[in-house]
Amino acid sequence: MKANRADFLELSQELLDRGALLRFRAHGRSMHPFIKNGNILIVEPLNGTSASIGDVIFYRRAEGSLTAHRLIKKNRNKDIMVLITKGDPLSYFDPPIPVEQVMGRVISIELQERQLQLNGWLGRPFGFLIALFARGHYSNQARLVRNLGRLWWLIGGRRIK
């Protein structure tokens, strides 16, 4: 039996609400080459207000789909905090996300026999650096962000088997 998107959303929410880690296969190219189609992502529960610039957050979009994109900045409008995210190689920002829609933070990516930890001593600064470069709109921006992601894999990726 194949689960549909609504089932995956419900199961993901339930696991993260219980404090469990969520492990699933990524689909899409919006974070390529940092996260490739088919990579395994491990997500820890996270309150949206606790997210840091550079984190890859896992959230519900308004239409019900689930997305893992990098947090670029936080905006506060009166009493409402919204988060601005972006797929690393993309030239546009996602629509603002209310913090309540954040379900978790990606803490690890698995690619074949390699794993990249995003929450370690190397992960936090690299994530922040990618977020800084991803904020602007300039020539070769996508290439720079892609190369930073590749460099991170080269330096921080480790064998897991």
Q: For the segment 74-83, what is each residue's pLDDT rounded down to a tens digit?
A: 988 778 899 9
Superfamily of domain 5-159 in CATH is: Umud Fragment, subunit A (2.10.109.10)
Question: Which DSSP string corresponds to 48-76?
Answer: GGG--TT-EEEEE-TTS-EEEEEEEEEEE
* Structure confidence by residue, pLDDT tens digits, 53-71: 999 999 998 787 899 999 9
Q: Which residue has the higher pLDDT, 161 or 155?
A: 155
pTM of the model as a whole: 0.87
The residue to which tokens 């189609």 are assigned: 37
Average pLDDT, integer, range 94-98: 93
Burial class (CB in 10 A: 0-12, 13-18, 19+), 22: buried
Pairing of strands 56-60, 40-45: unpaired
Domain boundary assignment for the chain: 5-159
